[in-house]
Amino acid sequence: MPDLRRVAHDDPFGAWEVDLHGHQVVYRVAGSGPPVVLIHGMVNSSRHWRTVALQLAERHTVIAPDLVGHGDSATPRGDYSLGAHASVIRDLLSALGIGRATIVGHSFGGGVAMVFFWQFPHRVERLGLVSSGGLGPEVSPLLRSVALPGASALISLAGADRVTGGLDRAGARLRERGSGLGVQLQAIARALKPLGGPGAREAFVHTLRAVIDARGQRVSATDRLYLLDAVPTLIAWGERDRTIPIEHGRAAHAAVPHSRFVELEGAAHFPHLEAPGALAAALLDWIAQTEPAALDDEAWRALLRRRAQVRPRAA
């Protein structure tokens, strides 16, 4: 049994750490009831889910991990692909004795959530995608530029406290004046702040390059969205998202039978921070009104056979 250690005491969304495969993985837990897993995006952490998690915790056990290379988890030299992150979450849930759960992912975390479903469909009761990556090639020019060679040195400068502090203060002033640009500046400051250390910078660059290059998102789930027909799916998006276009969410909603689409008013790319109450309410309503999926090998085989074409190969 892995060694589980409490990090933050007397906190309703308290942090724990576990040693998995020789690396520290930090996660936060709140509430009791059917489990919900919240997966953050790049350069975010479990802390960013706090407001949403505490509202969900009134009815659910909420588990929010720091992905490896993010937050307070280890930043080893290693694999930062979507599949690697999904496997760590699988192992974390196994260590906690959780077999099946509702899986919710934001941005890059949405890609991790989808790959978790492809790899371990029997462990997913519902799938929630919040401003998710992996649903189309378009992504902000800023993220495309970070994928270019030599970007790590620029990230080091941009992550300095004086830069992130200045951006955050400027964003706050603009928001007070009613300018939408303020939200974007504060989002950039939030994203850059964790990148002060070399391990975090390297992990971020490896994570980003696993899914984005100079032309945009290089990993797509659109060819297998039909598999989500078997699991209740929520797609939520900030109406003012300029990082990943809301059109990706609308197209995925059209492609996924029986999915639910929620447009979050006033939010940009970080609805869990910019409209946490609305997002939590949407999640709670969706969970309450849907029955959990229970896929076994035979059900998964039937889903695949709807599209699979097995035939002898021509000589």
Which run of H or of E encompasses 278?
Answer: helix 276-288
Choosing from 46, 73, 87, 107, the catalytic residue is 107
Query: Can you tell me which residue has the tokens 């993010």?
Result: 70
Look up 85 and say whether it is catalytic: no
Is position 107 annotated as part of the catalytic site? yes
Q: Which of 70, 106, 248, 269 is catalytic?
A: 269
CA 42 centroid distance within chain: 8
The two structure tokens encoding residue 194: 């964790």
Q: Closest by alpha carbon to 71, among 194, 242, 215?
A: 194
Residues 6+ apart with CB under 8 A from 47: 28, 71
Which of 48, 241, 248, 253 does the annotation list as catalytic?
Answer: 241
Query: Is 269 part of the annotated catalytic residue set?
Result: yes
What are φ and ψ of residue 165, in 5° steps? Answer: -65, -40
Integer Cα distance of 38 and 222 in angstroms? 22
Q: What is the DSSP letter of 270?
A: -
Please give the DSSP secondary-structure letter assigned to residue 293.
P
**Mind telling me the catalytic residues?**
107, 241, 269
